[in-house]
Amino acid sequence: MKKRYILFYLSYIIILLIILEFASRAIIPGYQRSIKSYDSQLVWKYVPNSRFNSISGSGIISINHLGFRDSNHPLENKNNSTRILFIGDSYTVGLSVSESDTFPRYLETKLNQNKTKRYEVFNFGISAYATDQEYIVLKNIGLRYNPDIVVLTVAPNDIREAYVKRLFYLDNGKLKLDKENKAFNLNLKDRFLWYLSRKSELFFTLQQFVELNYGTSNHIFNHVTYGVFFHENKGYDVDQILFLKNETNEMKNATKLFNVLIEEINNLCLNNNCGLVIINLPTKMQFDGILKKDSFDLLKIQKILKNITSKNNITFLDLYSKINNSLDPLAYYIDTEYHLNKEGHELVANELYDFLIKNHLIK
């Protein structure tokens, strides 16, 4: 008799949860489930084969079977096309604009106006990634497609995030994957709650009231690795510290790790017969006046990139001067936040197109 009551109450709870789930989907506007999925190799990616509304109003975001904002590409290059593969973060994936307006897709459209040669462009960017995860994407997924050119986009915060996540560390100057890092070893409870976050609008909505953050990169940052900020902040904003003339010890160590990651990405390209192009994507704070020149070096990240690319003979496109010398540098950024707007994506694509031709990387 007792078992019957237990089964009855369990059935009642399950039915109630199902009703509440459907009710939440009917009442709460938009897509209120996680757009990210935990991955034991990449740590997170977008939910494969999913579609969701952009919170910026740019339309429907479509994700392919690998978890990237891209179409599904065949492994074999049957059309003998020139393959260009982008790896990067939220600047590259471009969730604030329609897919056709992202600079990888805009570049592909422009390249294919030349009917004598076919170009295939891959957008393997993921929001909140840094150079560490981009290295993993290239090594474990990107190289399967035998790209002719790999384009690594670098935003200033990549240096900080690659260091504080501690997915990699340096051992006598050699890059080592920290296999013990909890980011690669989520326990069953956390994996289940990540699963719930992308399947249940009820759970995803309610968890925000207790700040669980499952299904977001913030969960990884706050609960799995070592945070997302430098500890030596000296009272500055999280990214202002990247440009300090008197750099902190953490910034020095982060730069060392970043340089080795760049070298390893270059080695992957050299060993797989593909060219590497690195693009510097300056951040909005380099133009809005928040960085006072007496304490900050606006060209700090560019100098780091120029040094490592020159040392390793890597093709480098610096967009700082192009944006800085325009009539209104801020016109290329979204008013309310720091990402590129449609005009910014178009500028990147056009500059890269001309740069690839000038350096004889495409015809």
Identify whether 351 is part of a domain. yes
Is 31 inside any structural domain?
no
In a domain, 230, yes or no: yes
Predicted structure pTM score: 0.91
Domain assignment of residue 200, yes or no: no
The number of domains in the chain is 1
Q: Is pLDDT of 219 > 90?
A: no
More confident residue, 18 or 109: 109
* 275 strand-pairing partners: 149
Q: Does 291 fall in a domain?
A: yes
Model pLDDT, residue 8: 55
Q: Is residue 298 part of a domain?
A: yes
- pLDDT-above-90 percentage for the chain: 60
> Within a domain: residue 60?
no
For residues 88-110, give the mean pLDDT: 94
Domain range for 101: 68-181+225-358
Q: What is the CATH number of the domain that holds 267?
A: 3.40.50.1110
Is residue 301 situated within a structural domain? yes
| Predicted pLDDT of residue 210 | 80
Q: How confident is the model at residue 53 (pLDDT cuts 50, 70, 90)?
A: confident
**Arithmetic mean of pLDDT over the chain:** 88
pLDDT at residue 51, as a whole number: 85
Instruction: Over range 19-36, report the average pLDDT.
Output: 64
